[in-house]
Amino acid sequence: MSPITFNPTTTAAFFILFTSLTPYLLYHLASHHFNWTDNRAKSPVVHAQDLCKLAGFGAAICLVGGYVETFSPLVTAIMAHITIVLYAFLCEWEPMRTDLSRWRSWPWQMWAVFLAAVTLIVLFTLYHIAVAIERWGFVGACLYLGTFVCSIVGVGMGTVGIARWQNHGGLRGVGRVKVEIMDDGDTEEGEEEESRPIRGATMRRYSGLDNEASEEEETERKSRWPHVKIHVHHWQIFGFLALFTRFDTWPSQLAAGIVLGCYVHGIAAYGYDSIWILEEVQER
């Protein structure tokens, strides 16, 4: 289905309004009406913050996802509103009241819904690859799919790397640099020197692992930052998928409405929770 054409600024404004802001408001109106329990209490300031972030993220998704050329108010926007309500009803179902981190203890109903969702995502993925091959050729489709895969790998490696860095106290085992002020000629034999422009200042470089830290210093080093765990939220998953449903065919526009509705549900119900969950530092 061909999108209704406006100038790019108007299209972006309509995209933000009808795929981010109005679904958010619809969720909270329906939440109060149906008394949904899957809804975090928010103050007016938090609502305003979430709406501002939705507008900003919506602009980024519209630009990077190419929705300026493909956005359809008759398919994508309507489907986003339908999806956010249906997803909310699904989340009210008792077997669905869990998360990805507890997958080992999922009931069979949760597994059934999860596998159905994965199957739907795979089918839409195959469709988008086929459209990409038809329009851009094999090389273009490989670039399209490669961007998707590389983005997942890059973001995943960065997320895990930062978490490990924090949990292990930062950079370790890369040597130490000590700066000492001493008189010229006081350097002991066998130590490397690097003179600074300031007279009398000498930097001593000690290569190798830092094995001189005492157990007390090591404890201090590890407890300097709170321990962090990784928790992937559905707003992050579906917000990322929304960047790739970028074609002007009705299945692609339908898929865009579904992923955008699920994305906004995560924000409306819980807010922009971080992928890193910090544990509280225990008082000494």
> Is 129 part of any domain?
yes
- Residue 220's CB: how many other CB atoms inside 10 A? 12
- Residue 55's CB: how many other CB atoms inside 10 A? 15
Q: Please report where in the chains the tokens 């000590």 appear, as a residue.
A: 178
> Is 14 part of any domain?
yes
> Is 61 part of any domain?
yes
pLDDT value, residue 50: 94
> Is 142 part of any domain?
yes
> Is 101 part of any domain?
yes
Res 190 pLDDT > 90 = no
pLDDT value, residue 202: 40
Q: Please report, rounded to a whole number, the percentage of residues in the chain having pLDDT higher than 90.
A: 48
> Is 40 part of any domain?
yes
Host domain of residue 241 = 8-160+229-278
Backbone angles phi, psi at 210, to 5 degrees: -85, 95
- Whole-number Å distance between alpha carbons of 59 and 16: 6
CB 72, CB 253: distance < 8 Å: yes
Q: What is the arithmetic mean of pLDDT over 68-74?
A: 88
> Is 193 part of any domain?
no
Res 243 pLDDT > 60 = yes
Q: What is the arithmetic mean of pLDDT over 205-210?
A: 43
- The pTM assigned to this predicted structure is 0.77
pLDDT value, residue 42: 84
Using 50, 70 and 90 to split pLDDT, how confident is the model at 67?
very high
pLDDT tens digits, one per residue of 102-132: 888 999 999 999 999 999 999 999 999 999 9
Res 252 pLDDT > 50 = yes
- Domains in the chain, number: 1
> Is 180 part of any domain?
no
E strand or H helix at 278 = strand 276-278
* Residue 189 DSSP symbol: T
pLDDT tens digits, one per residue of 36-65: 876 677 889 999 999 999 999 999 999 998
Q: b vs e for 79-110, b when ≥16 Cβ sit within 10 Å of the residue's Cβ?
A: bbbebbbebbeebeeeebeeeeeeeeebeeeb
